[in-house]
Structure 1
Amino acid sequence: MANEQALEQLETKTYRVQGLTCTNCAAKFEQNVKALPGVKEAKVNFGAAKLTVWGEATIEELEQAGAFERLKIREERERITRREPFWKKKENWNILASAVLLLIGIAADAADGGILAVAMYLAVIVIGGYSLFSTGLRNLARLQFDMNTLMTIAILGAAAIGEWQEGAVVVILFAISEALERYSMDQARRSIASLMEMAPAEAIIRRGAEEMTVPVEDVRVGDVMIVRPGGKIALDGVVVNGASTVNEAAITGESMPSEKTVGDSVFAGTLNGEGFLEVKVTKRTDETTLAKMIDLIEEAQAERAPSQAFIDRFARYYTPFIIIFALFIAIVSPLWMGGAWLDWVYRGLAVLVIGCPCALVISTPVAIVTAIGNAARRGVLIKGGVYLEQIGRLRAVAFDKTGTLTKGKPAVTDIIVYEGKRERLLAVAAAIEKRSQHPLASAVVRQAKEEGVSFLDVPVDEFQSLTGQGVKAVVGNETCYIGSPSLFVDMLGRLPDEVEQRIAAFRQEGKTVMAIGTASRLLGLIAAADQLRSSAPDTIKAMRRLGVKEVAMVTGDHEQTAQAIGRQAGVSDIRAGLLPEQKLAAIRELKQRYGMTAMVGDGVNDAPALAAADVGVAMGGAGTDTALETADVVLMADDLRQLPYTIRLGSRTLAIIKQNIAFALGLKVLALIAAVPGWLTLWLAVFADMGATLLVTLNSMRLLRVKE
């Protein structure tokens, strides 16, 4: 803890790293940075290609620490103005030149030009393998055995026993494999890079009477931002003038534009429609919802999934085993079984080549990075590989009711009048409830506005809230009450049987009943209900098809309302009237009975239940800091349909990781068996290793195709 406190006092800076392609390279780069004189601690996030440094170091020093992989460092928020095409990169031109020299060498070999052929093969090895040898020899001197070390020993060994052509072919195939691996990892990370480029680099700001274009970093909270039709919104804010539709797909994944008018929130990176907006900036560029999303996604990519942790532990013992096995083949086998030494040395070198753990080590992270990036583009934040794997294994899901299965916005469904006119009853109710903060009060006011009932001119005095029962106020010369039917039971003694039956029927339908009247008579009843989301029944059916055995609802609402909503949604286990500690107990019971369990809520309430679940899922996280911070999975749009997609993505990711590991290990075992009797040539060993890496990567890329 003391060490953590000491680090907090140091300057912390985060950089983007270009050229990071393997987990071993990331670990080595991290160690090199830690060894720099001004650095106290460093952490490399391989999935997001980020470096965090505690202490002081220049970009030149950091690039020197990553010189073994020719890593390039840039500031975290620095934008790439132009991406260099894959085919234009210097290392790829080296591969092309080496391939031409190899073809010349093969032609010379066929024409018995021995010295020319050897010279061409040597040139291929030097040009194509220069960076490989510089790293491999340095590692060998330090007794660090990684992929570069194994390949260096194999290629130099092939040259030493006169297999020049084999050595040259191995160099080129390995260089191609490295280039394709770089390309595939860049593609996997591109989804996050595209999110970073969503928000414009500049904003039009009005200060006084002057409009100016300034970098987003220089915009202050409180500035008024001008957003013209068709323009992108640069920072989070609140509309202070104008009206428009805004496409929020970058944040929520929802393709349908959202209506925005004065008082509505807008987010950085979203696209304005045909209206003109003036927006008061509420967050700086590094505090916007989009910036938080990107940070959370990149942190998620750094979190090791259980399968990745297993592979990392396995690889720690795997590489030394391969080296010992290769030495055994090359030295012990000829002594024990006889045969030519050069043949056995060659077989040992083939074992070294096929033993490279590239495909195995990359099998999990490339799948996790791809899946988390795909989810982010569709408005789902998954905070780590562990949650991605767990959501793919879900067997039970518990929903909160209000704001999750329902819209969280009660609406008036019935108005029963016992005395007077309907319009007058609604006008009086709305005039009184306009002064209340209760959700049901806003439902009454909305209903009056929708029906065009004039209530603002109704005189209301002496408004008073009656805790737990309702409200009262003087309307004209008479004191009126609105609240629970029990309030009128206390005042009138007993309600007529017909009224009691009507109230019971409403409650049976899941509606909340408000009574309105005076101390001496009942004027009418108003029933309201929090309406079920139209997507809820289909969502629950889809989850069951995906392997979820139990769908429960845990709510603090009363039994009748919960039963009505639960039946409409298709929930099999309805638990009502629960206090927070009882919800927690319900989640623990579901976990014990079914296994992997998720809790779906709004990210603000039900914190104990969300924390107790294996996966806590928050609804409608856009603009809600609490939801972004507390939940393991955040559905940015207020849309239940994102949940089956997320479960499908998790289960597909699990399946692909298993396929990758099985394929990578299976191919290694087959190749090692083939290498011992001499059936496997050096170049075929590299080709098999390269093929395994590419197939594992391409298999992971299939996760980009998972859709709703």
Structure 2
Amino acid sequence: MTELSGKDSHEWQITGMDCAACARKIQTAVERLPGVSGVDITLLSEHLRLDLAPQTTAPAQIERAVQSLGYQISATTTAKTDDYDSHGDHEPHSHADLPTDVRWYHTAKARLVLFSGVLLAAAQIAKWTVLADHAAWGFILACLIGLLPVARKALAALRAGMPFTIEMLMTIAATGALVIGAAEEAALVVFLFAVGELLEGVATNMARDGIRALAKLVPATALLEHDGHSHEVAAETLRPGQIIQVRPGDRLAVDGEIISGSSGIDESAVTGESIPVTKGPGAAVLAGTINTEAVLRVRVAKASADSTLARIAQMVAEAEAARAPTERFIDRFSRWYMPAIVAVALLVALLPPLAMGADWGTWTYRALALLLIGCPCALVISVPAAIAAALSTGARHGLLIKGGAVIEAMSSLHTVALDKTGTLTEGRPVVTDTLPAAGIAAQDLLQFAASVEAGSTHPLAMAIVAQAKADAVPLLPSTEARAFPGKGVEAMIAGARLHVGVADAALPAVAQLQAEGKTVVQITRDGAALGLIALRDEPRAEAAEALQQLQSLGLQAVMLTGDNPGAAKAVATRLGITAEAGLLPEGKIAAIQKLAAAGGVMMVGDGINDAPALRQANVGVAMGAGTDVALETADAAILRNKLTDLPAMIRLSRAAMTNVRQNVVIALGLKAVFLVTTVLGLTGLWIAVLADTGATVLVTLNAMRLLARDPRKQA
């Protein structure tokens, strides 16, 4: 529980939501309680989050409200309350029939379908035999048995202030059919509804497997070293600093650092890269990756719950809450769709008999069939099912996308802006020239620069420090270190203020070096120039191919860099891309704003120095192999650190939105067709049921096709 602006934030896990209507009912029920705000319920990740004002509704009341609708609920951020059993007062045929460790055919819902199906078949057989006079009672019995749990849910929803639910419409339609003497069709309708609900649950559960698979990649135990021997412990008990052994074939349970041993590490679970990477002492390893060759001793860096893979799984699950604009529009549309259909059904039942003297039974039957078309389940699930499948697929391939809103924005881009250093280039520049001023030794110049840059994560700074280390140049102690984004770094050394920053391009030596495609930094002491250091960074091996793929997708690519025009031109010419150089952070923001005038803009950078531009763009993408920065910054991250994954991410987003459009057409198309045929009397009750539950199953299965997609393959 966390305190937020005087309100307590709570989170629960809910079991048994197998359709969009389930989530809608729960949200409506809890929103009516006093002091409740910020309700966020996600269908596929099965989470309920909300804020509670103090001294209003207790968490136990929230849980009872959800239970009264027939769902299981347990707190995930607070301890369970003791005043009730979260399983005790559950309805016998609730939606909570598909736990992850139980097959669908072992559930109570499956048993209900089987039993009512047998009764329906027996009644049908009786109709064809000498027992025909008694067959109607068999149909009535089959209808009532199948309708009982549906009616109970309808009444529970009605008590919670929700009269317009699919269960209520089904109850009215089936009861009405019995009243007008259509017992056989009423029984068939109830049976098909139960089958449809079962299929919805199975399909939704399969869609959730993509998210669950991420969590399952981390083993539950690890071999902990203790007092000269190792023993198995629960992974969740591991703490930073402890030493674990990882045998060949084992998955790492936590993020850590190798302290002895060398082996190939399969990182496909995190980055999607299937080729093992050889790592030895000092190398970082991530939870969920596989040790392929030799025994490793690893120092734990993070607790299991804080591992990179656990955070990726959490972000994928939470990303469902970042809904796409299309999904928000459909949600608003569906709120008046069901009441509108009920009004139409009422008019169909009353107007023809009253205005034209038509048969009451005929038009009542057609009105009842219309009621069954009034549930927008298929329409509401059409977007989140596709988005969740795309998010899960992306995570499996090292493409982390933070929500449906990002996917929708990414599918309609016009321009992709890319940083140079660390994005289009390897991000590992090397020192090529050291040009000290008169009276300054080259080694001293390197020592001053490295001492100021020590601790910085900027690629240029790391290159200077690495060169000093390679030349065995010791670093000097420094204080008051400060960074000026886009301008440089300064620190106090031996009582003097040293500055390492952008060199003056007007100097002949600087201009010459920049013309050679090098980046030049100038070192000053109390304002006096000490010399120049030049560095050069090479383009990524896959950069040209990535840019070609972006062009084939119809996207314009442009380089935005703070580097000098000479260095930028050298890289841009080799890659065939336009470039804007010498940009400070505010300059990149202005460039993004200018590009946005032509359409959606994506900014791709290293997630640190480009943060303002990443935020300014319609979509910000951070490069990084599973680092904290890559996970926390921007709207998406390329965990494999391969630039060709950028067009792959865009292809996945476009495929997801194509899938969404297909789903909306399926959902609305079937509804529209059967709305007309029902009013004309061409189709009846059982077809109306198929129009609802069948469409829900179809859109879910269509969305699941995204789970098998490889976004790196070009269509």
TM-score normalised by the chain length of structure 2: 0.82
Q: How many residues align?
A: 656
Q: What is the rounded CA distance, in whole Å, between the counterparts of 1:107 and 1:307 in structure 2?
A: 48
Match of 1:690, SS state, is helix
Which amino acid is the alignment partner of residue 510 of structure 1? G
Partner of 1:637: 640
Q: Give me the whole-angstrom Cα distance separating, in 2, the residues matched to 1:95 and 1:628.
A: 45
Q: After alignment, is 669-678 or 132-141 more displaced?
A: 132-141
Matches within 5 A, 1:41-120: 43-52=40-49, 62=63, 65-71=66-72, 73=74, 83-111=101-129, 113-120=131-138
Q: How does 1:673-692 map to 2 (within 5 A)?
A: 673-692=676-695
Correspondence for 1:694 among 697, 700, 704: 697
1:646 aligns with 2:643: no
Tell me how far 1:297 sits from its aligned partner. 1.3
One-letter code of the match for 1:305?
Answer: A
Q: CA deviation at 1:388?
A: 0.4
Q: Match of 1:581? A: 586
Q: 1:413 to 1:57 in 2, by over 3 A?
A: same
> 1:44: Cα distance to partner?
2.3
Residue 566 of structure 1, aligned match among 564, 568, 572: 572
Q: Which residue of 1 aligns with 2:244?
A: 225
1:557 aligns with 2:557: no
Distance 1:462 1:669, change over 3 A: closer
CA distance in 2, matches of 1:342, 1:552: 68
Gap change, CA 1:665 and 1:444, over 3 Å in 2: closer
**Which position in structure 2 is the counterpart of 1:25?**
22
- Which residue is 1:420 aligned to? none
Structural mapping, 1:616-635, within 5 Å? 616-620=620-624, 622-624=626-628, 626-635=629-638
Match of 2:281 among 257, 262, 266: 262
Counterpart amino acid of residue 45 in structure 1: T
Q: What is the distance in 2 between the residues matched to 1:640 and 1:646?
A: 10
**d(CA) in 1 for partners of 2:263, 2:594:** 48
Do the aligned partners of 2:451 and 2:478 also contact (CA within 8 Å) in 1?
no
How do 1:312-461 residues align onto structure 2 when only pairs under 5 Å count?
312-411=331-430, 437=453
Residue 199 of structure 2 is aligned to residue 196 of structure 1: no
Q: How does 1:581-600 map to 2 (within 5 A)?
A: 581-592=586-597, 594-600=598-604
Partner Cα distance (2:561, 2:276) in 1: 32
- Distance in 1 of aligned mates of 2:324 and 2:521: 51
Q: CA deviation at 1:435?
A: 7.0
The 10-residue stretch of structure 1 (238-247 or 29-38) with the greater mean CA deviation from structure 2: 29-38
Instruction: For 2:633 and 2:462, locate their aligned partners in 1 and report how far apart those are by CA, in whole Å.
Output: 29
Q: 8 Å contact 2:595–2:601 — kept in the other structure?
A: yes
Most deviating of 309-318 and 693-702: 693-702
Partners of 2:450 and 2:468 within 8 A in 1? no
In structure 2, give the amino acid aligned to 1:568: R
**2:321 partner letter:** A
- Alignment equivalent of 1:131, drawn from 149, 169, 188: 149
* Cα offset, 1:512, TM superposition: 4.3
* Aligned counterpart in structure 2 of residue 610 of structure 1, from 599, 610, 614: 614
Query: Counterpart amino acid of 2:381?
Result: I
What is the deviation of 1:461?
11
Change (3 A) 1:484 1:29: closer
Cα 1:115–1:5 shift into 2, 3 Å: farther
Q: How far did 1:30 drift?
A: 3.7
- Note the C-alpha offset of 1:447: 8.6
Which residue number in structure 1 is paired with residue 174 of structure 2? Answer: 155
The residue identity in structure 2 corresponding to 1:135 is: K
Once residues 663 and 361 of structure 1 are traced to their aligned partners in structure 2, the CA distance between those partners, rounded to angstroms, is 12
Secondary structure of the 1:339 match is coil
**240-249 vs 614-623, which moves further:** 240-249
Equivalent-residue separation in structure 1 for 2:184 and 2:347 (angstroms): 25
Does 1:544 pair with 2:557?
A: no
Inter-partner Cα distance in structure 2 for 1:620 and 1:3: 33
Any conservation in 2 of the 1:426–1:448 contact (CA below 8 Å)?
no
Decide whether aligned partners of structure 1 residues 239 and 342 sit closer, same or farther in structure 2, where only a CA change above 3 A counts.
Answer: same
| Counterpart contact for 1:587–1:612, Cα < 8 Å | yes
Q: Contact 1:98–1:124 (CA<8 Å) still a contact in 2?
A: yes
CA RMSD of aligned residues (A): 3.9
Pick aligned residue for 1:273 from 285, 292, 307:
292
Deviation at residue 36 of structure 1 after TM alignment: 8.0
**For the Cα contact (< 8 Å) 2:503–2:520, is it kept in 1?**
no
Aligned residue number for residue 511 of structure 1: 518
Whole-angstrom distance in 1 between the partners of 2:521 and 2:59: 68
Alignment-mate amino acid for residue 6 of structure 1: G
Aligned match of 2:661 in 639, 658, 668? 658
**Is the partner of 1:66 in helix, strand or coil?**
helix
Secondary structure in 2 matching 1:229: coil
TM-score by length of structure 1 reads 0.83
Change (3 A) 1:412 1:486: closer
1:571 maps to a residue whose letter is I
In structure 1, give the amino acid aligned to 2:26: F
Q: 1:646 to 1:442 in 2, by over 3 A?
A: closer
Structure 1 residue runs of 5 or longer lacking an equivalent are: 417-424, 471-482, 516-524
Deviations 1:35-57 (A, max 9, x none): 78998986422231113366797
SS of the equivalent of 2:702 reads: helix
Distance, in Å, in 1 between the alignment partners of 2:549 and 2:386 is 24
Deviations 1:58-117 (A, max 9, x none): 899837723534446475899x99711122222112212222221221121223634532
Structure 2 gap ranges (5+): 80-97, 436-440, 480-486, 491-499, 523-531
Show the counterpart of 2:87: none
534-543 or 286-295, which moves further after superposition?
286-295
- Preserved contact between residue 373 and residue 688 of structure 2 (Cα < 8 Å): yes
What one-letter code is carried by the residue in structure 2 that aligns with 1:122? I
| Equivalence for 1:419 | none
**Which whole-Å deviations, capped at 9, do the CAs of 1:204-244 have from their partners, x for residues lacking one?**
22234343322222222221222222211111122222222
**Inter-partner Cα distance in structure 1 for 2:501 and 2:237:** 54
User: Which one-letter code corresponds to 2:272 in the other structure?
Assistant: G
Matches within 5 A, 1:294-313: 294-313=313-332
What residue in structure 1 maps to residue 526 of structure 2?
Answer: none
Q: What secondary structure sits across from 1:355 in the alignment?
A: coil
* Distance in 2 separating the partners of 1:97 and 1:695: 25
- How far residue 690 of structure 1 moved from its aligned partner, in angstroms, is 2.8
Match of 2:92 in 1: none
Q: Is the 8 A contact 2:452 2:489 kept in 1?
A: no
The 3 A distance-change label for structure 1 pair 537 and 238 is same
Query: Cα–Cα, structure 1 residues 513 and 134, in superposed 2: closer, same or farther, change >3 Å?
Result: closer
Q: Which SS does the other structure have where 1:178 is aligned?
A: helix
Q: Which residue number in structure 2 is paired with residue 704 of structure 1? A: 707
- Percent sequence identity over aligned pairs: 39
CA distance in 1, matches of 2:384, 2:29: 22
Displacement of 1:4 in angstroms is: 3.6
Seen in structure 2, the aligned counterparts of structure 1 residues 197 and 460 have a Cα distance that, compared at 3 Å, is: closer
> 1:579/1:460 Cα in 2 relative to 1: closer, same or farther (>3 Å)?
closer
CA distance in 1 between partners of 2:37 and 2:429 (Å)? 55
Counterpart AA for 1:120: G
